[in-house]
């Protein structure tokens, strides 16, 4: 499972939170012990780290096997919109490493 989070006012978006709340009522073990990589980005230097930390911390309570998480801060400085790719080689390697954990 790969989930990429947007951050609104330091937390989950209302749309994600609503969907998550309703689906977790059906079965609290929502993620079914599947391996996960969690991602977040923002235009600012924080890289949506607040929501990523919350998601990484809470996923195990919902049977999420978090293998890695990656934050991409300053999105417009670290993403090449023409190539549709991360332009920062360190961040790209971090992403590839996290994704490799999925098997």
Give the tens place of pLDDT for each residue, 24-75: 998 899 999 999 999 999 999 998 999 999 999 999 999 999 999 999 999 9
φ, ψ (nearest 5 deg) of residue 11: -150, -175
Q: Which domains does the chain have, with CATH numbers?
A: 2-100 (3.40.50.360)
User: E strands of 1-103, at which residues?
Assistant: 2-5, 34-41, 64-72, 79-80, 85-86
Distance CA 54, CA 58 (A): 6
Question: Taking the complete model, does pTM exceed 0.85, yes or no?
Answer: yes
Contacts of 42 (CB under 8 A, 6+ apart): 6, 7, 48, 73, 75
Handedness of CA 91, 97, 99, 101 (dihedral sign): negative
φ, ψ (nearest 5 deg) of residue 67: -90, -25
Tokens encoding 101 = 């954990």
Contact criterion met (CB below 8 Å) for 69 and 56: yes
pLDDT at 103 over 90: no
């Amino acid at each position: 499972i790969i989930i990429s989070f947007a951050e609104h006012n330091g937390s989950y978006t209302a749309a994600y939170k609503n969907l998550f709340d309703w689906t977790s009522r059906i079965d609290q073990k929502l993620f079914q012990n599947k391996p996960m990589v969690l991602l977040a980005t923002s235009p600012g230097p924080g890289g949506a780290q607040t929501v990523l930390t919350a998601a990484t911390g809470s996923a195990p309570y919902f049977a999420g096997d978090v293998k890695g998480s990656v934050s991409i801060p300053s999105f417009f400085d670290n993403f090449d919109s023409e190539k549709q790719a991360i332009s920062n080689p360190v961040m790209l390697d971090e992403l590839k490493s996290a994704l490799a954990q999925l098997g």
